[in-house]
Structure 1
Amino acid sequence: MTDPQIVCPSCRTEIKLTEQLAAPLIAETRRQFEKQLQAKEADFGRREAQLRAAQEQIAQAKAAIDQQVAAKLKAERAAIAQAEAAKAREAVADEMSNRDRQLAELHEAIVSKDAKLADAQKAQAEMMRKQRELDEARREIDLTIEKKVQESLVAVRDKARLEAEDSLKAKVAEKETQIAGMQRQIEELRRKAEQGSQQLQGEALEIELESQLRARFPRDLVEPVPKGEFGGDVIHRVIGPGGQACGAILWESKRTKNWSDGWLVKLRDDLRAAKADIALIVSTALPKGVDGFDLIDGVWVAEPRFALPLSLALRQSLIDVACSKLAQEGQQTKMEMVYAYLTGPRFRHRIDAIVERFTEMQSDLDRERKTMMRLWAKREEQLRGVLDSTAGLYGDLQGIAGRAMQEIESLDILLIEGKSEAAE
């Protein structure tokens, strides 16, 4: 261990000390430092007391200065208030004079504006009067145009009405000619009937019976039996709801005064020849003891007024029998029935009837189309003439009235189109 060294405060030289010499020296040095510290603390206490005394003096001086400043401020504020009041009075006086001057200027401006307003009102009244006159002139022009257009439309309507009347008269004349021809035919038939021709009377009853059956049963096949062939007068083939043939009814019509039993035998033979199911005689003369209708020897006999009711019952009986037979037939399948129907004559007849109706409808449609196209072309020319006349009238009025006339855009377009067409 090395010996401790100390530095001399006066000569700043290092002195090596032994342990025996260092201990008393250190204790002495500590006592000196403690004395110096106590002296410094006492000095600090004195200085602190001096500072507190100086602060109290400064506070007292500050309070005195504040009082002086407050007194000066109060005096200065009073002076400033007096000066500002004087300035305010002067400013108010100036402002009042400015306001008086402005009021005078405003009064002059109001007087000038009133004069201008009066002039403007007079000008507006004059303008409104001119506008009213212009509106009246415009309305007069519009009324004139409307009258001209109305007159043109009336002329077009009259012309169209006359054409329609001519066409209608032609059709009426044609119909009257047809009616006259039919009346002549009716008179001819009536004359022959009055002559007592039983053949014509029977044919009339046959035709009437055929038309009644067709009207009542539109789905069934009602066909007249050709003259000279065995088989009655009318063959009525009954068609069921499913389109299947259910049987046939053979009709014989008689318009005589006396009944003949030989008709029954002949109609039974005709029934077998025509392969029908039911035979029926419609006659004005019935056997003795028969009232309305009856079944005699397998042949139905009825008056003309019972023909349709009896046909309803007989037709329904044939349909019921056919449906029961169809229910009992289990060997033939639906496909075979459809095939038989499609390859049979009934289907061909139906298709031919449909094609004929469609062909007739197509022909009627073509005729109507040609007629309407001709009428449309005619109406288009008429309308074009009316529009050209209206556009020309509008151009004449516009040339007379000038810019005072209100423009009509649609008529301007017509005028432009007319000029372009004329140029071409």
Structure 2
Amino acid sequence: DKKLAELEATLKTRDEKLTEAQQQQAEFLKKQRALDDEKREMALTIERKIQEGLDAVRVKARSEAEDGLKMKVAEKEEQIAGMQRQIEELKRRAEQGSQQLQGEVLELELESLIVSRFPMDIIEPVAKGEFGGDVLHRVVGPAGQPCGAILWESKRTKNWSQGWLGKLRADQRTAKADIALMISEALPPGVETFDLLDGVYVAHTKCAIPIAIMLRQSLIELANSRLAQDGQATKMEQVYRYLTGPRFRHRVEAIVEKFTDMQEDLAKERKATTRLWAKREAQIQGVIESTVGMYGDLQGIAGKVMQEIEGLEVLAIEASPPDAE
């Protein structure tokens, strides 16, 4: 009976606690519902206040815009222009990076295309910081003999630049290549697919491999013909071949180009020196005339008492105009 009484007491206590917990939960739910209602009411009140504030701001802005509309429009236009300039600068930088990336991709494509088409030849990509060009193509004959080299340069731009030719010729001399070949999507005026300009072969990208086959075959045939004459070549014949070959022409072209640059620099220096001499001569003439004039003024004031200065007398005679006599 005692244990039963204890259990009933425990059960009663638990029932009381459960009832209290349920009341607390109900109270909590009630408060939560009230809080949610308050939040919704507050949000609605805030939205109303914001809307009222926006309406007031719109009215105030409309009234202020009537006075300062032009100034604000000018400021906005200046801001827009500044943003457009920034956008253009970012586009230009992005295009430069994109063009550089496209050039590297084109160089890799060109190298892969040459390697796959001429597997027996030696293809050497030109490292950055060395002489120009993209790929140095060393032609190997059927018997394994070296037959010459082709320096490839690839361009992927919209506009043609005439300065590319001179640079590629200089790179050709540095690389000691027999032929310089430029592959470009943009061609010079008057060139549709292929041409030889100033010693450089220029071709469209779609003609790259056919042109390379032709140039490669010409190098192989020239090397075979030299090989056949090697046994009977004399010193005079070697000199003749050197004088009539591309290497001597490259050397002479390099010398002529340097002399042309020196001649242009000399002409510029001559013009600058002549202009400087003329300026100094005018300054000296002005000083002489001023000195002679001052000497004449003093002679007019002092008369014969003033001693004559022989050098100024001579300068006065030289500076006087011919009609003065």
TM-score bracket relative to the smaller structure = 0.3 to 0.5
Q: Report which of the two structures shows the higher radius of gyration computed on alpha carbons.
A: 1
Q: TM-score, normalised by structure 1?
A: 0.32
Q: TM-score, normalised by structure 2?
A: 0.42
